A and B are shown apart, each in its own frame.
Chain A
């Protein structure tokens, strides 16, 4: 097998991994702050893709879709936190999980009613179509763009968490919410924003992946399973873990697809099983 093909496949793995990083980060941020695993994460990824498609077709520009949809769905996420998840704080940790699972049914069926059950093609913006020769091979411009966007988003997120007052509160609040309240920080407002941020990241992933996969109401199911695999491998609540595990899983899926395409999806679960055997808390997770 020639190196060029391997390199190209490696790069598709990175692009796929970049999307996984976004969804897993969203999941992990929400969990780290609120202690809630959002089972509607995959469905919101899917809703994000549809929202991006809708805004793009309204405005005639992919760029509006990319910018507006994550904000829109992020705000919708805040509404979900405020109306549905908030009443469950203080109850069993299973309750928000069950609720968001039920919500995913409603979201998937809602999208079917509005957009129909069949997949819709999500055209790649004309300025990002085609391939570019990087000396070692031809790479699709759109995938390079996706990786670039994810790198910027992750950097912004890191800066936001490390360098701003909001980030300080988020990090401290994740450790000790009661203390934050004692210090006079309105922790519920932080929860609202973090939930919105996590959902926004998922829907950004949805819009970005639109031109790479077909957009259909069921796409969220695989995304949710993938996000779980990545966060379990990386360690739930660990942002660095999500990033590294996301890239590793993306690359492993892509490389397997090259040699044994029928094993591509299966291998990521096998990877997770392996990590569970060796390190049940995940690569970057702390022991409970």
Chain B
């Protein structure tokens, strides 16, 4: 019996670990897309965050400086995306793609300059902090209350973002900009400013996902370490209908099926592994068809906003 409890808590912990980077990136995407700016550059932002935190911790040895650096550089990548999409009104898909491609190229190039030793040594990682008392609860305790600060931050962010988005005037403004920017502008909101801020926040959050990957999960940096997680986060965002809670739940679903398929393989059930590798995506597809119903994006998503007075 204790064996199966250990197995369960191990499985849940694996699910959580696999979901966290997705959840950060998806919440980042949520900010950007709620304000009306498509962000398929999440993958590139995640990768940038992973590289920047790895390089910083490699040089300074301080995890906190690394997280700060990831936040700043992630914000800068967000700023670039915002500048291209909001000010220059470049096609938002193209801008996101450009960010993904340049992030992949630049991080690969720079990582060869930074980590050129032949055997890579593990980077310093972020340690778990157990919350006294709560961490003693069986299964749930070690899962939620014996984690590293980034997981706590994520657990805090979900209710916080939900509250911010749906209960405050700030959230109303953000959503208005994404739904009907002209009305928001009429009400005295600067659409440009809100979009800039949201997309930069988006970069920061996605970058944190990358930092988690490097500082907590893997403790190495490898080229293309993001391995498509940004795109899965994007799918989770759509699947979660641009709502913070359901988006994070969608990320957990992806993480949990991934952990499950690895365990099915480990237990040697005679299923071709190619099917198991597909499993997270298949489940998401079925969930989309069965549960999600009609998924409506913010009305102004992907449409650049042009102030009439500035039109030339």
Answer yes or no: are A and B bound together in one complex. no
